[in-house]
Amino acid sequence: MDEPVHSSIAPAGAPAKVAGKATTRTNDPERTMAGILEVATEEFAAKGLAGARIDEIAARTRTSKRMIYYYFGSKEGLYIAVLEEAYRRMRSIEAGLHLEDLEPEQALRTLVAFTCDYQLANPDFIRLVMNENMHRGEYLAQSKSIEQLNVPAIAGLRSVYERGVAQGLFRPGIDPVDLHMSISALSVFNVANRHTFALIFKRDLESPGAIAARRENIVEMIVRYVRR
């Protein structure tokens, strides 16, 4: 395990903005941190916490181990920051869907389709979450912001569902968190297991037609489950 270089100036897990390209050492801390987070996301997703190396991340970002530890405190602090940024990015884009402006069923369809598309386009997010589940959530539990980052996701889905119930479109009695889990489960399996599933059942799951059909099937399954 890489040993941290302690600093009394910067806290561990300092927040970062939206990730950008790998960057050189500059007087722009946010840009530097964003570059480190982008490269670290790729490293942790590909190699896990144990396999990723701070030396490699420093080399790819043209920074130094000392600078990385200055901003994030330790290798584990950087890993937690990567997890937080991954969720923050997804929730930020999700908020831009403006589900409150759509009729309940269309809002639900839009949310499910977005989730399918996002997971497919961001396999590193799935790898990170799978890796953290192998750690039984040990590091995510140390995050001070992860619960708050995900509150809007449940609040938005709850609002869509309750509007649908109030209009007599959706059946009552469904837990929004459980519904969120079902949407996530279908969308994640669609990406995480596609290679083994395609091999075992001799199906092409990566053609545009197959992707579109699977996406529509997932949307329909969720909508029909919720309908009254």
CATH superfamily of 1-82: Homeodomain-like (1.10.10.60)
Residue ranges per structural domain of the chain? 1-82, 96-226
pLDDT of residue 144: 92
DSSP label at 227? B
Is residue 170 within 8 A of residue 228, CB to CB? The reply is: yes
pLDDT of residue 26: 54
Rounded to the nearest 10 degrees, the angle between the axes of helix 29-51 and helix 123-134 is 50
**pLDDT tens for the chain, residues 1 to 228:** 444 443 333 333 343 333 344 444 457 899 999 999 999 999 999 999 999 999 999 999 999 999 999 999 999 999 999 999 999 999 999 999 999 999 999 999 999 999 999 999 999 999 999 999 999 999 999 999 999 999 999 999 999 999 999 999 999 999 999 999 999 999 999 899 999 999 999 999 999 999 999 999 999 999 999 999
Shortest CA distance to 93 belongs to which of 112, 115, 108, 109? Answer: 115
pLDDT of residue 126: 96
pLDDT of residue 8: 30
- pTM value surpassing 0.85: no
From residue 42, alpha-carbon distances to 21, 56, 68, 83, 206 in Å are: 12, 11, 16, 12, 22
pLDDT of residue 19: 39
Pick the CATH number of 96-226 from 3.50.30.50, 3.40.1550.10, 1.10.357.10, 3.30.565.10: 1.10.357.10
| Gap between the terminal Cα atoms of the chain | 54
pLDDT of residue 27: 72
Q: Is 131 exposed, middle or buried (0-12, 13-18, 19+ CB in 10 A)?
A: buried
Is residue 46 within 8 A of residue 127, CB to CB? The reply is: yes
